[in-house]
Amino acid sequence: MEEASTPEETRLSALLWLDEAETYAQALKRAGFGASLDVQLLRSDQQPSDAQLARTDILLARVAPPGLLASMPKLRWIQALTAGVEHWVSRPDLNPGIALSCARGTHRVQMPENILGALFHLTKPYAQATLDQRDRRWVRRFSEPLAGKTLGILGLGEIGRELAKKASALELRVIGTRRAADPVAQVEKIYPPEATDEVLSQSDFVLLLLPLTPLTEGFMNAARFKAMRSNAYLLNFGRGSLVVDSDLVEAVQAKTIAGAVLDVYRTEPLPAEHVFWLTEGITVLPHIGGLDAHRDETVAAMFAENMGRFLAGDALVALVDRERGY
């Protein structure tokens, strides 16, 4: 059965402004919206015309040049492609009447698995064994068990909750911070953000999954590193600006903490001259925590679901709370 067409003058216009736009356009078509929307596709290196901007009701993009949203008088909804949206909510041209939804939840599988990989990296000798193999050296090295250790998750959102399930299966004790006090499966105790130091003082591994907001900028500073155990590790899979870089380097070099695994940075790619590259005890990952060859298909399915909700006037999935910033 063919899709019923909608008169041109009543169709909403959706601008899909990214290199993978075709994947998202196909998701809309499969969901039955092909004939009811005016869908415009642009690569990220292209600029929309004034006419395109003037008629756009819906925007799907990774980012938009400063001030551009002011040229889109009909814009009613932006679908972000990432879970973190600080680059959107901080824009002065983001009108309060524009709905903003993010891709929260699309890292549910990949991110927890990569975080577990980081924990194994810290406690098992596989990286050193690979170097030994290169030199044809037979060296038997001890590994440190994860069972019985405490994982402190700062920011028990969707990824943190999923990770807690997997970590508990490895017999890790899981605690963490969260605004809401309601219980989380496999989390022994939840602390309010104001009690972060309680989590730091108990944890063998401190995992940052906080969103970046004015309240969390520079969250992990010298004082908080001193609240950690000297044999504890920091893992940052949240946002680079959650950490004061110089304080982290000092804490690792002074053995205030045992080390760190970082996947996110204030500037990406991490500049070649950055001290993290050569600081012993800091492992640099190139922002691969949520990298997934099929992620665009996952986000496209969310976008198509949200399109149906938007057209029906229903609440959007992963709608951003503009006051909280996530």
| Confidence (pTM) | 0.91
Q: What fold, for 8-106+294-312?
A: Rossmann fold (3.40.50)
- H or E element, residue 80: strand 77-80
pLDDT at residue 127, rounded to an integer: 95
What is the distance of C-alpha 253 from the center of its chain?
28
pLDDT at residue 10, rounded to an integer: 75
Contact assessment for residue 48 and residue 17, using Cβ atoms and an 8 Å cutoff: yes
pLDDT at residue 9, rounded to an integer: 60
pLDDT at residue 2, rounded to an integer: 44
Alpha helices by DSSP H, the chain: 21-30, 50-55, 86-89, 110-123, 126-134, 158-169, 196-202, 222-227, 245-253, 295-312
Adjacent-strand bridge partners of 260: 234, 282
How many Å apart are CA 185 and CA 164, to the nearest integer? 8
Low-confidence ranges of the chain (pLDDT < 70): 1-9
How many Å apart are CA 73 and CA 228, to the nearest integer? 50
Domain chopping of the chain, boundaries: 8-106+294-312, 110-284
pLDDT at residue 36, rounded to an integer: 86
Catalytic center residues? 239, 268, 287
Same fold, 8-106+294-312 and 110-284: yes
Q: What is the CATH number of domain 110-284?
A: 3.40.50.720
